[in-house]
Amino acid sequence: MMLMERNILKKQTGENEPMKRVLLITNYFHFKQEKESNRYRQLADMLSNVPDIQLEVITSVFYQRTKSRRTNTEELIKGLPYQVAFIEEPGYRKNISFERLKTSKVFAKNTLRYIKEHKKPDLIYQVVPTLDVANTVSKYANDNNIPLVIDIQDLWPEAYRMAFNVPIISDLAFFPLLKKANSIYRRADSICAVSNTYVERAMSVNNKVKAGHPVFIGINLAAFDRNSAQSKKNEDERLKIAYCGSLDESYDICLAIDAIKMLENRPLFIVMGDGSKRSEFEKYAKVNGVDTVFTGYLPYPEMCKKICECDITVNPIIGTSVASIINKHGDYAACGLPVINTQESPEYRKLVDEYQMGFNCKSGDAADVAEKIRLLMDNQELRTTMGANSRRCAEEKFDRDVTYRELVAVVKDLLNIR
């Protein structure tokens, strides 16, 4: 069974200019009531402002963040300038699980059925992951000569491979997923992604796309500034180090705690976010005597305000992570603070170096992290300079109002819209 709820959309167009029907398909769409900031909601808003486009968002009735079924769908879509369809799927309990792969097959099957029951679209904008829906939809698009844009926000099966890394066995187990991902990328008429690293991955198997479009997840910079306008700069002698994001397997909060423990005048560590390892991190901080405030999940406006009241940000990601440019990078840059980074992503490390907005450290090396924190603690002028560079990076690379124009241009180009 499939749940479908659609709001009514009316747009004025010229008499002889038929609307171009565009489908934006993603399991992970966040409505305004659910999350302040979301890549695909902002893209949907921008596409719906194009006079010749009639947009429909296809998403899941299952909401990933709460791991529960959406029950307020009418409220979620009220007043939106585009249509929305909610597709049934059973859901899952853990992000990295075979249960998640199983439910994605149901979502894919129901999504394809929904598409076939309605007027054929003029273009499909398909978000990856999940692989099942992208594989199913990309086949349909190619079979029906429908222009297909693929937008990669995470690499599957690489992310799963990191979590279940058993030599030989993992290679065999994830080979079918790798084959499926390659097929999806090959079918694309245009390739977009949240980083150049991901674009290059897809382009390596696609011989018909001449140039990809790396557009960072980014942030709504104007909204960030409004949210942080009431923040009070740290006036204490004691400095504050900020972390915001998930508290799960990929994030090495213990490394940051170890580094702070090595310092003579220890800064206060502010950890904003929640996740499966929160209690473990809390115990580790307490056992090591590092003064750490775990705020839990904060609404986005509160997070913006609180991070701007700190002095340094830390991006402690484990060395085996396949993540590239991620959500928190935009917030870290927007707040105008220097960043201490352990993430091995060459693309992000290059960004840190090029903008001179902080320090790249050796992954897993607490002494190196401590040394870089000490340099910033002892030199206010350096913090100010690197912080200004960080903000410049946000304005040039992470401001969605500017950077997402490229995504809209991709769609318009394939539709031959000026």
Q: How confident is the model at residue 418 (pLDDT cuts 50, 70, 90)?
A: confident
- Average pLDDT rounded to a whole number, residues 111-135: 96
- Average pLDDT rounded to a whole number, residues 171-196: 89
List the single range of 91-95, 303-307, 312-316, 414-418 with lowest mean pLDDT: 91-95
Secondary structure letter of residue 18 according to DSSP: P
**Closest to 130 (Cα-Cα) out of 83, 165, 175, 95:** 95
- Which residues contact residue 382 at a Cβ distance below 8 angstroms, ignoring those fewer than 6 apart? 338, 375, 376
Between the alpha carbon of residue 359 and those of residues 105, 186, 314, 331, 373, the distances in Å are 42, 37, 10, 17, 9
Q: Is the pLDDT of residue 13 over 50?
A: no
Q: How confident is the model at residue 170 (pLDDT cuts 50, 70, 90)?
A: low
- Average pLDDT rounded to a whole number, residues 53-65: 96
- Average pLDDT rounded to a whole number, residues 210-216: 96
**Closest to 272 (Cα-Cα) out of 299, 291, 239:** 299
Q: How many Cα neighbours within 13 Å face the side chain of 57?
A: 29
Look at residue 1 in the predicted model and tell me its pLDDT. Answer: 44
Q: How confident is the model at residue 145 (pLDDT cuts 50, 70, 90)?
A: very high
User: Whole-prediction pTM value?
Assistant: 0.87
- Average pLDDT rounded to a whole number, residues 396-418: 96
Q: How confident is the model at residue 169 (pLDDT cuts 50, 70, 90)?
A: low
Task: Share the mean pLDDT of the chain.
Answer: 91
**Closest to 23 (Cα-Cα) out of 134, 184, 153:** 134
Q: Is the pLDDT of residue 231 over 90?
A: no
Give dist(CA 62, CA 40) in Å, integer.
Answer: 17
**Closest to 146 (Cα-Cα) out of 134, 138, 156, 135:** 138
- Average pLDDT rounded to a whole number, residues 307-315: 97
Look at residue 160 in the predicted model and tell me its pLDDT. Answer: 52
Judge whether 50 and 417 are in contact, CB under 8 Å.
yes
Cα 20 to its chain centre, rounded Å, is 28
**100-109 tens-digit pLDDT:** 889 999 999 9
Domains of the chain (ranges; CATH) run 20-218+400-414 (3.40.50.2000), 221-398 (3.40.50.2000)
Q: Is the pLDDT of residue 8 over 80?
A: no
Look at residue 10 in the predicted model and tell me its pLDDT. Answer: 41
Higher-confidence position of 13 and 138: 138
Q: How confident is the model at residue 11 (pLDDT cuts 50, 70, 90)?
A: very low
Higher-confidence position of 166 and 99: 99
Give dist(CA 341, CA 352) in Å, integer.
Answer: 8
**Closest to 390 (Cα-Cα) out of 329, 307, 343:** 329
Look at residue 263 in the predicted model and tell me its pLDDT. Answer: 97
**19-49 tens-digit pLDDT:** 999 999 999 899 999 988 899 999 999 999 9
Helices 380-393 and 366-377, interaxial angle, to 10°?
100
**Percent of the chain predicted with pLDDT > 90:** 79
Q: Is the pLDDT of residue 243 over 60?
A: yes
Q: Is the pLDDT of residue 162 over 60?
A: no
Look at residue 370 in the predicted model and tell me its pLDDT. Answer: 98
- Which residues contact residue 209 at a Cβ distance below 8 angstroms, ignoring those fewer than 6 apart? 188, 189, 190, 191, 203
Burial code (b: 16+ CB inside 10 Å, e: under 16) for 142-172 equals: eeeebbbbbbbbbbbbbbbbbeeeeeeebee
Give dist(CA 220, CA 331) in Å, integer.
Answer: 10
